Amino acid sequence: MGSLTFGNLRPEDDFMHEIGSDPSHNESMFFNFFDAEKKTGGFVRIGNRANEGHAEMTFCVFLGDGSLLMQWGRVPLEDKNVLCAAGLSFNVIEPAKRFVVEYRGQAVRIADPYELANPGKAMRNNPKVDVSLQLDVAGVGPMIGDREGNSKDAVIFLDGVGHYQQAIHATGYLRVGTDGVQLSARGVRDHSWGPRIWHSIAKDRSLWISFGPQLTVIACKTWLTGAETADQMGCLIENGKVTPLKDIVIKTKFKPDTYYHNAVELDLTDVNGRQIHLDGEVLSYAPLRHRKEGEETVYLGQAMTRFTMNDVSSLGLSEYFDAESLTPGLVEYSKNGAACIE
């Protein structure tokens, strides 16, 4: 596979880290995975909030029939040295190389994922189903990031937070009730540790697309609260070789009368001056949100998206994060039918 890391990372950063003194200290992993043939995929996440005494989990999987499996939870943190919460677990088998993702439990099967605009109603009014997910995950190319969280020169970074991402190939199965499907999925995983305050971000656009070992695209732009310009990070991973991006332009169209994105264009320029264009069509969309007393609500749109580049298509995840005060401006774009260029 070549070098296991890119940047100042070490393979052992795949394991858990010392817990900092900040009350918001978080250590989390996230895996997104998509089987283009089965039109099935999504993401799973566990975050340990050790200083708050709990762990968070999210299970979000889009199915080929257009429905969505959704479950989330917050449970007491029983062991700060593992990532395991409410039936979901992540295990590092070999750092930077091999991992196992498992979920055993229930999820709500939502026929129309847009119903999650009212999450309480959607979770009450749709049926619960027994779900099993087992994925053997292999790293494809190096872990890419910054372990100190203080280097804007890093290809992948979060201010003040250790953070990296890695392209993956996942094989296994998903069982829903008595029905099962074998998966051969591509995607990206993420690991971060340090202070995490969701409401410190005003807006974020994160897009992950894998066409196989020959090319994975990571493109992210983040506007911190009060900032006029975005931090951007991203790269191309081609047969294990990492080429950073120096410019990311995102053009978005929205579902009429909403801030839900339904079409995306990416214009990317790498550090060598090469230009790449991708078109993205949202196939299924989950409108999630994060609320905290005394803070502005933030909206998180997660979408299974078909990306096409040079007539070759694959599935990926497009994630849009917006503070509530910004959403009326996006709705105006949807009414005009114009693209928002960021």
pLDDT tens track for 213-240: 999 999 999 998 888 899 999 999 999 9
Give CA–CA dist 103/37, Å, rounded: 22
Give CA–CA dist 268/47, Å, rounded: 31
pTM strictly above 0.85? yes
Rounded to the nearest angstrom, the gap between the alpha carbon of residue 286 and the centroid of all alpha carbons in its chain is 13
In the predicted model, what is the mean pLDDT of residues 46-62? 98
Q: Is the pLDDT of residue 291 over 80?
A: yes
In the predicted model, what is the mean pLDDT of residues 110-119? 98
pLDDT tens track for 177-189: 999 999 999 999 9
Give CA–CA dist 193/158, Å, rounded: 10
Give CA–CA dist 288/119, Å, rounded: 8
3-state SS of 124-173 is HHCCEEEEEEEEEEEEEEEEEEECCCCCCCCCCCECCEEEEEEEEEEEEE
Q: Is the pLDDT of residue 317 over 80?
A: yes
Give CA–CA dist 232/244, Å, rounded: 11
Residues whose CB is less than 8 angstroms from the CB of residue 72 and which lie 6 or more positions away in sequence, other chains included: 56, 57, 58, 59
Give CA–CA dist 35/179, Å, rounded: 17
Q: At 15, list the tokens.
A: 């394991």
> What pLDDT was estimated at residue 150?
65
pLDDT tens track for 127-174: 999 999 999 999 999 999 999 876 666 788 777 789 999 999 999 999
Give CA–CA dist 70/58, Å, rounded: 8
> What pLDDT was estimated at residue 293?
80
Domains in the chain, ordered, with CATH?
5-12+21-341 (2.40.370.10)
> What pLDDT was estimated at residue 152?
62
Percent pLDDT > 70 in the chain is: 98
User: Which position has the higher pLDDT, 6 or 307?
Assistant: 307
Give CA–CA dist 188/307, Å, rounded: 15
Q: Is the pLDDT of residue 307 over 60?
A: yes
pLDDT tens track for 57-106: 999 999 999 999 999 999 999 999 999 999 999 999 999 999 999 999 99
Residue with tokens 């996440």: 45
> What pLDDT was estimated at residue 28?
97
> What pLDDT was estimated at residue 1?
52
Cα–Cα–Cα angle for 172, 178, 181, nearest 5°?
30
pLDDT tens track for 237-266: 999 999 999 999 999 999 999 999 999 999
> What pLDDT was estimated at residue 149?
77
Give CA–CA dist 274/286, Å, rounded: 33
Q: Is the pLDDT of residue 5 over 70?
A: yes
pLDDT tens track for 194-212: 988 777 889 999 999 999 9
